[in-house]
Amino acid sequence: GQNIDQPTEMTATEGAIVQINCTYQTSGFNGLFWYQQHAGEAPTFLSYNVLDGLEEKGRFSSFLSRSKGYSYLLLKELQMKDSASYLCAAPNRDDKIIFGKGTRLHILP
Amino acid sequence: DTGVSQNPRHKITKRGQNVTFRCDPISEHNRLYWYRQTLGQGPEFLTYFQNEAQLEKSRLLSDRFSAERPKGSFSTLEIQRTEQGDSAMYLCASSSDSSSYNSPLHFGNGTRLTVT
């Protein structure tokens, strides 16, 4: 089966760095996604990792370790607009995509 | 490309009534997914399609839920004999054939169902 775990909530300060962790179990690994979801809005795509290592995209980076079933999303130079839920999602070999419960990130001024 | 479109945006219904939601995916996308999301939770998988074929339906879903994608384009999700526990946001998403950096899920804005 599939299982995805991530922290429920995190708090960080504007301008700081925060790391949101995700552990997963899937039947047939087929990459790992991160999505951002602001309150009342649809999720939007942030990143996709299929190989081990760090993928950097501006202020956001995502890391994957397939052997450990572990990923993290790193947000740098936090801005107030980064206050949102961050969703970890993993497709299995049949592209059934399962989401974690999401991590609500609160940014303090 | 106008993105994924869902209708209606909001639906209020009385317990016991049937409701139907519609999703129009991005035109070139073969995969279509339905999720349900409640406050403070991540999207919960309901079902998905490859063209018109329904690939899997969540075991969490009762027989009151059914989804179709008759011509491999738009999809409908029907809930029969609604219950208060069905109140949630119903999200539709589409993608190309296989998951990749170039083919993430594109979500619609959802249909918010309230069962009174």
pLDDT digits (tens, 9 = 90+) for A32-77: 999 999 998 999 999 999 899 999 999 999 999 999 999 999 999 9
Residue with tokens 């990130």: A105
From chain B, the residues in CB contact with A100 under 8 A are: 42
Q: Average pLDDT in the A11-21 region?
A: 98
Instruction: Decide if B41 and A102 are in contact by the 8 Å CB cutoff.
Output: yes
CB pairs under 8 A between A and B: 64
pLDDT at residue number B80: 96
pLDDT at residue number A100: 95
pLDDT at residue number B74: 96
Query: Which residue, B87, B79, B92, B82, is CA-closest to B31?
Result: B92
Which site among A96, A101, A106 would you substitute to test the B interface, given the most B Cβ atoms closer than 10 Å to its Cβ?
A: A96
Q: How far is CA A58 from CA A24, A62, A85, B32, B38, in A?
A: 25, 11, 19, 30, 31
- DSSP assignment letter at A62: E
B51 — pLDDT class (breaks 50, 70, 90): very high
Q: How far is B16 from chain A (nearest CA, A)?
A: 27
Q: In chain A, what's the furthest Cα-to-Cα distance? A: 43
**Confidence check: pLDDT of B99 > 60:** no
Which site among A35, A94, A95, A99 would you substitute to test the B interface, given the most B Cβ atoms closer than 10 Å to its Cβ?
A: A95
Q: Average pLDDT in the B78-107 region?
A: 87
Please report, as a single letter, which amino acid is at residue A69: G
- Residue A12 or residue B103, greater confidence: A12
| B56 close to A (CB below 8 A) | yes
Q: How far is A88 from chain B (nearest CA, A)?
A: 9
Pairing of strands A9-13, A103-108: parallel
pLDDT at residue number B1: 55
